[in-house]
Amino acid sequence: MVDVFAKCRLPETYQFVKELGVYPYYQAIEERLGEGEVVIDGRVLVQAGSNDYLGLSGDERVREAAIEATRRLGTGSGGSRLSNGSLALHEELEARLAAFLGREAVMVTSAGYLANLALGTLIGPGDTVVGDRLVHACLIDAVRLGGARLRRYRHNDMGHLERLLDAADPGAGRLIITEGMFSTSGSVCDLPGIAKLARAYDARLVMDSAHDVGLLGANGRGAAEQHGLEGAIDLQTVTFSKALGTIGGAVAGPEEIVAYLRHYARSVVFTAALSPACAAAALAALEIIAAEPERRHRLRATAEGLSGELAAMGYAVVPSDRPVIAVPVGDDLLCFRLWRELFDEGVFTTAMISPGVPPGQALIRVSITAVHTGTQVDRIISAFAAAGRRLRLIPDGPEARTV
Ligand code: PMP
């Protein structure tokens, strides 16, 4: 008999990493102390790994909206959107998001993952999906769900994308998938290049704006707004778990496509609708994003300062004003050791290894938020200086600025 559970043994390296004390995952946060700080194992750390880029998860107005919706409507939705879980609040959020994004229609989902998974409904065997090498796992899962053929181009490499489009069966459907701002590198997609190729090859274009909505573009509509190319995108997916500070997701696009997804996307039809608290929090967060552009301006300035400091220290960081700062390390174990050194220095970052990033390209991901204080940023800088020197990742140099 073949036991399907037999494979469920974690590799020896897992045990080894645990014994070394450098295992970075499933760290339980005991408390959140005000903005930008968490308590883990009784210790106060700077939270430098959160996607809550604008700090809205802790904003009083957003919290109050969630509490009020919970009082009025309860903690759950009671069913899927299709059957009995649809709330007027969901519809209000969909209308508000459609207006904000400038799209005809929006369908709200219970997570960003589920919004992307819904795209699998639009493709089938025979179709070719061409995606950036760095696109998120949920876009890959959507392609698997749809049974389409997946081809991946080197990150932002337009020559490679063109070759793959050229090789695709012209008699079948073609879809290009990209992220607006990439979650692991912080880089922005080459939308002008992608849009041009999509037109030339009659391919549909989907952009996952998980990390750029609320942050990029003059109005925070994302990478497409920043490029002035919103019309080039057929569908835009969004998650509420980053800049909007809550949980949930959405697909935005033409009415006809969204209506189809509402009835056929399995990740919508067969799962409970978004909770009232999350829907109300997302609505409140959208209002703040529209009314307080200074949040994203502050975030950009902080990110620019921190990435510049890390690069000057000797890390292979590309300075930019985007909140995701990727610190390349390469080797998985070295990445875990750096993560642990930073943790010991009081800074909680994210260690990313394959399959989160390509094999051999492990990195520490730092995310900066609009609510990090100057003192907290200084603590991140001194932690990287001390940890990097101890591990000989950066040259010895003048003492980093101390707190
Ligand atoms: N897309 C991207 C690019 C992401 O990084 C993530 C989550 N990290 C998702 C989608 C999924 O979003 P959620 O966590 O809201 O399910």
* Average pLDDT in the chain: 95
Q: Is 208 in the pocket of ligand 1 (CB under 6 A)?
A: yes
What tens digit of pLDDT does each residue of 19-28 get? 999 999 999 9
Tokens matching residue 129? 């999906």
pLDDT digits (tens, 9 = 90+) for 76-112: 999 999 999 999 999 999 999 999 999 999 999 999 9
Fold classification of 60-291 (topology level) = Aspartate Aminotransferase; domain 2 (3.40.640)
Q: What is the mean pLDDT of residues 170-185?
A: 94
Spell out where 170-248 has E strands: 174-179, 204-208, 235-239
CB-ligand 1 contact for 52 (6 Å cutoff): no
Say if ligand 1 is within 6 A of residue 178 CB. no
C-alpha 212 – ligand 1 centre gap (Å): 11
pLDDT of residue 400: 46
pLDDT(142) > 70: yes
CB 77 within 8 A of CB 275: yes
Q: Please tell me if the CB atom of residue 237 comes closer than 6 angstroms to any atom of ligand 1.
A: no
pLDDT of residue 170: 86
Question: At 399, is the pLDDT very low, low, confident or very high (cuts 50, 70, 90)?
Answer: low
Residue 356 pLDDT: 87
Q: Are 214 and 196 in contact (CB under 8 A)?
A: no
**136 catalytic per annotation:** no
Is ipTM strictly over 0.95? yes
How close is the Cα of 402 to the center of ligand 1, in Å?
35
Which CATH code of 3.90.1150.10, 3.40.50.2300, 2.30.30.280, 2.30.30.240 fits the domain covering 10-47+293-390? 3.90.1150.10
Does the pLDDT of residue 57 top 50, yes or no? yes
Average pLDDT over residues 226-234: 97
The mean pLDDT of 153-163, rounded to a whole number, is: 98
* pLDDT per residue as tens digits for the range 260-316: 999 999 999 999 999 999 999 999 999 999 999 999 999 999 999 999 999 999 999
Residue 402 has pLDDT above 60, yes or no: no
Check residue 278 and give its pLDDT: 98
Number of C-beta neighbours around residue 205 at 10 A: 22
Residue nearest to atom 1 of ligand 1 (CA): 210
Q: What is the Å distance from ligand 1's center to 358 Cα?
A: 17
What token pair was written down for 372?
């990090």
> Looking at residues 336-356, what average pLDDT do you find?
96
Residue 155 designated active-site = no
Domain with CATH 3.40.640.10 in the chain: 60-291
Query: Is the model's pLDDT at 258 over the cut of 60?
Result: yes
Name the pLDDT band for 10 (thresholds 50, 70, 90).
confident
- Evaluated on CA atoms 66, 72, 75, 81, the torsion sign reads negative
pLDDT computed for residue 33 by the predictor: 87
| Cα–Cα distance for residue pair 34/359, rounded to 1 Å | 37
Handedness of CA 305, 310, 314, 317 (dihedral sign): negative
Q: Is the pLDDT of residue 381 over 50?
A: yes
State in Å: Cα 322 to ligand 1 middle.
Answer: 17
pLDDT of residue 12: 86
Q: pLDDT band for 398, please (50, 70, 90 cuts).
A: low
Instruction: Give the pLDDT of residue 35.
Output: 83
Catalytic residue among 211, 227, 275, 382: 211
Among residues 86, 110, 183, 267, which one is catalytic?
A: 183
What is the pLDDT at residue 175?
98
Helical segments of 111-242, H only: 112-117, 137-146, 158-167, 191-200, 223-227
Which atom from ligand 1 is nearest to the alpha carbon of 114? 16
| Residue type, position 285, single letter | A
- Cα dist. 55→70, 286, 312, 322, 372 in Å? 21, 13, 27, 15, 9
Pocket test residue of 109, 113, 134, 187 for ligand 1, highest count of atoms within 8 A of CB: 113
- The predicted pLDDT at position 79 comes to 97
- Which part of the chain has CATH 3.90.1150.10? 10-47+293-390
Give the per-residue pLDDT at 159: 98
Please say if 211 is a catalytic residue. yes
The answer to whether 153 touches 161, Cβ cutoff 8 Å, is yes
What is the pLDDT confidence band of residue 148, given thresholds at 50, 70 and 90? very high
Classify 81 as helix, strand or coil: helix
Q: State yes or no: pLDDT of 158 exceeds 80.
A: yes
Determine whether the shortest distance from the Cβ of 241 to ligand 1 is under 6 A.
yes
